[in-house]
Structure formats: structure tokens, C-alpha cells
Amino acid sequence: MNFPDRGLYAITQAEGKTMDQVVAEVESALKGGAVVVQYRDKQAIDAMALARRLLTLCHAYGAPLLINDSVELALAVGADGVHLGKDDGDIYAARKRLGPAAIIGVSCYNDVAKACQAAENGANYVAFGRFFPSGSKPLAAPADIETLKIAKRQLEIPIVAIGGILPENARQLLEAGADLLAVIGGLFDHEPQTAAAAYQALFQ
């Protein structure tokens, strides 16, 4: 499955929720127009089972499922790819484990040089952020909207923006060069289908 060029990138909000709740919320987000889902779960009880359910669900909606941080979990469940943070190993190792068709994304924070290096090393997309205060990542270093403009001029792969993004502050990120908007709380602190539709409308 290919990584989409544009649209809403949903990241699961699993903490304190049952497996059924997470699956139901993700399905609502997909119904609302999310084009890719990342399974992120810092305190997973049964990550394998939940990831498998999410993979089946995502494929029913034609959306890829990426696993946050864990190449091994992505490999075990046959996910479409992985998202790598700064401590999650390198692109070459992930590609060797997951194969040439896997989607590999990389967090680049506020660093265009890191993004260019990731693209050269075979990343399918890069992510910058956080752009606004974020409940999910309150300690994450801030990123500058100017970074998106510079990155857009230098990169040919999709650019994802993350961090405190709401429908009312997102347009400036898209205008600066973001191709996808990665959202956790803005989706799952609300009714996900309605929230997803509000984000997806920004891409029309």
C-alpha cells in the first residue's frame, strides 16, 4: 500500500482505553476521511492483538497502518510500515527488516538537514513538529512554520506536520508546505468522525 500524498494522518490515542474503544474510534476517524493511521501506544497491554485488528480495519478503508517506534511489531503483524523517532534505529535497518515495499517515516522535529538525509536514505515521508502546544507531547521541542517552507523547497517526499494541530490553526501549516496533518487529541478528544471530516475539508 502506498503512502498518501495529502490528507489527515490519524495517530491512535490508546492510553486508558479498551481495545474495542480504540478500534471503534479509529473506524470513526477513517469514516471521517483519515487517509493513514499510526498505531502509537506507550503502555500497550496486547499490542500484537490491537495492531492486527487495526490493520484489518485500515485495509477495509484502503488506508495504510504504520506502527510507531517498533520495527519488530510492524514485521510481526504485517503492517504497512513504521514511524521512526530519534531513538528507534535507522532507516537502512528498518528497510532491511521490512522490505522494499514498506512505508518508513521519520521524525525530524525542526531539522531540515535531518529530513533531507532521511529522504536520501530512503524514507517515504518526514514529519516535523510540534508546531503548537500539545497535550500528547507536552515536552516536545517546538518547530517553526518557516521550517516547512524551507523543507518544501528541498524535498520531493510528503511532509507531515504534527503537534497541537486543530482545524482552526492547520491552514497555515498547509500553506507553508505540509502535505499531511498528524493528529491525536484534535481527533480523539472529540467525536472522531466529525473531527476527521473537519480536518479533511481543509484539503479540498
For residue 185, being part of any structural domain is answered with: yes
Work out the mean pLDDT of the chain and round it to a whole number: 95
Q: How confident is the model at residue 61 (pLDDT cuts 50, 70, 90)?
A: very high
Q: Is the pLDDT of residue 165 over 90?
A: yes
For residue 92, being part of any structural domain is answered with: yes
In angstroms, how far is CA 27 from the centroid of its own chain?
16
Rg value, the chain, Cα = 15
Query: Rounded to an integer, what distance in angstroms lies between the CA atom of residue 166 and that of residue 58?
Result: 23
What is the distance between the terminal CA atoms of the chain, rounded to a whole angstrom?
A: 23
For residue 30, being part of any structural domain is answered with: yes
Q: How confident is the model at residue 137 (pLDDT cuts 50, 70, 90)?
A: low
Q: Specify whether the backbone of 82 is left (phi greater than 0), alpha (psi in -120 to 50) or beta.
A: beta
What pLDDT score was predicted for residue 133? 86
Sorted by sequence, the CB contacts under 8 Å of residue 70 that are 6+ apart come out as 47, 82, 88
For residue 139, being part of any structural domain is answered with: yes
Helices and strands (H and E) in the chain: how many = 9, 8
> Which CATH number belongs to the domain containing residue 15 in this structure?
3.20.20.70
DSSP 8-state class, residue 141: P
Domains of the chain: total: 1
Q: Is residue 73 within 8 Å of 12, Cβ to Cβ? A: no
What pLDDT score was predicted for residue 179? 98
For residue 2, being part of any structural domain is answered with: no
Evaluated on CA atoms 187, 69, 23, 56, the torsion sign reads positive
Residue 67 bridge partners (DSSP): 39, 82
Tell me the residue range of the domain where 77 lies. Answer: 7-203
